[in-house]
């Protein structure tokens, strides 16, 4: 079945450093979504990418969707302690169901 792989599993950075998480799908995706889950919380939607090669920015966050629509990345510039949490990508295939990657847990040292 459809699989979405995400790396790295964990990342510890010093405040102010950059952070990137990568997402790869075994199949071509209709779209990809990114969610953030704070410790003890529930996933909260960040953004959706639909077009091949699409790049979107939200302040210090940059999201990219690959040309083949099988991979994506989230890059955070100059991390802050408020960025702590687990970032999940979620791919939507032809059936419409969201399949989540394993998530990348970000720890930021002040």
With CB under 8 A as the rule, give the number of residues binding other proteins: 19
Identify which of residues 27 and 102 has a Cβ nearer to other proteins in the complex: 102
Q: What phi, psi does 82 have (nearest 5°)?
A: -70, -10
CB 69 within 8 A of CB 29: yes
Footprint of other proteins on 55-84 (CB under 8 A): none
7 binds other proteins (CB under 8 A): no
Nearest to other proteins of 40, 110 (CB atom)? 40
For the chain, first and last CA: distance in Å?
Answer: 41
**Cβ 78 to other proteins, closest distance in Å?**
26
Are 20 and 104 contacting, i.e. CB atoms less than 8 angstroms apart? no
Cis amide linkage into residue 8, ω under 30° from 0? yes
What residues line the site for other proteins (CB under 8 A)?
33, 37, 41-45, 48, 88, 90, 95-103
């Amino acid at each position: 079945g459809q699989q979405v792989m995400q790396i790295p599993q964990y990342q510890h950075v010093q405040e102010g450093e950059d952070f990137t998480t990568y997402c790869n799908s075994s199949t071509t995706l209709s779209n990809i979504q990114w969610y953030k889950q704070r410790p003890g919380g529930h996933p909260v939607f960040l953004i959706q990418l639909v077009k091949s090669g699409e790049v979107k920015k939200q302040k210090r966050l940059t999201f990219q969707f690959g040309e083949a629509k099988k991979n994506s990345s989230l890059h955070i510039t100059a991390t802050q302690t408020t960025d702590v949490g687990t970032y999940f990508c979620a791919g939507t295939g032809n059936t419409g169901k969201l399949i989540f990657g394993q998530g990348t847990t970000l720890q930021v040292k002040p």
